[in-house]
């Protein structure tokens, strides 16, 4: 028999919600860590809340009367937040709508998926794209062209002016070469024998 009329989450559901976002608050502007050590060396501290997307009880924020009790207490109706953000979203349910919170949740889970198992060094490294001036002949001679074609791409040189049109509308992308320092180089040429002028090498997957 239910003792209260709230559809609270089970401990397992709360734990899964926290784990699915790596114990970080799901508000993209917050991302505060919500767990850490207590002084006692066997215990941990929790500053996170398994918040209800639609309220656990009738007078609560974003309450959805069409849900069953099980659905209301189910994991799809939960989002992991820090205590501050949990308060924030419940104080302003007009701004923090169900749709809004669901977007936070899926972005936070996606972020956790991308971070998982990666070292801090690789995760935080900002990759810089630098321009590298080459000659069209060099791209042929060095085997760059051949290598990219073998990966199933079409290649073309385009003028700097047309680059964004081709990239945005036609689905081409600049050829970026990995550099020893981890940066990427975008290939530019100014001496193409046929087209002439300042050109950028683009690639596009063959259909
Ligand atoms: Zn937060």
Q: pLDDT for 73-110, tens place per residue?
A: 999 999 999 999 999 999 999 999 999 999 999 999 99
- Ligand 1 midpoint to CA 78 (Å): 15
Contact at 8 Å (CB) between 24 and 108? yes
- Ligand 1 midpoint to CA 22 (Å): 13
Q: Is the pLDDT of residue 49 over 90?
A: yes
Task: Tell me what pLDDT residue 78 has.
Answer: 98
Q: Is the pLDDT of residue 6 over 80?
A: yes
- Ligand 1 midpoint to CA 33 (Å): 8
Residue keyed to tokens 């790596």 = 22
- Ligand 1 midpoint to CA 10 (Å): 22
- Ligand 1 midpoint to CA 8 (Å): 21
- Ligand 1 midpoint to CA 91 (Å): 14
- Ligand 1 midpoint to CA 107 (Å): 14
- Ligand 1 midpoint to CA 82 (Å): 4
- Please report which residue ranges of 41-196 form alpha helices under DSSP H: 69-72, 83-91, 98-115, 120-124, 136-141, 144-150, 160-169
Residues linked to residue 157 through DSSP beta bridges, in sequence order: 201
Q: Closest Cα partner for 125 from 181, 193, 175?
A: 181
């Amino acid at each position: 028999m239910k003792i209260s009329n709230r559809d609270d989450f089970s401990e397992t559901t709360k734990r899964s919600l926290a784990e699915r976002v790596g114990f970080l608050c799901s508000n993209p502007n917050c991302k505060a860590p919500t767990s850490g050590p207590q002084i006692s060396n066997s215990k941990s501290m929790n500053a996170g809340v398994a918040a209800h997307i639609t309220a656990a009880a009738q007078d609560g924020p974003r309450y959805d009367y069409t849900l069953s009790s099980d659905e209301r207490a189910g994991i799809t109706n939960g989002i992991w937040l820090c205590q501050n953000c949990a308060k924030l979203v419940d104080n302003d349910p007009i701004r923090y709508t169900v749709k809004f919170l669901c977007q936070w949740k899926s972005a936070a889970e996606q972020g956790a998926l991308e971070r998982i198992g990666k070292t801090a060094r690789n995760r935080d490294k900002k990759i810089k794209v630098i321009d590298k001036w080459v000659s069209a002949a060099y791209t042929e001679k060095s085997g760059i062209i051949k290598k990219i074609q073998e990966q199933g791409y079409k290649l073309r040189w385009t003028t700097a002016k047309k680059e964004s049109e081709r990239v945005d509308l036609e689905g081409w992308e600049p050829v970026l070469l990995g550099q020893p320092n981890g940066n990427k180089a975008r290939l530019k040429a100014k001496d193409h024998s046929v087209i002439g002028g300042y050109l950028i090498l683009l690639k596009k997957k063959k259909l």
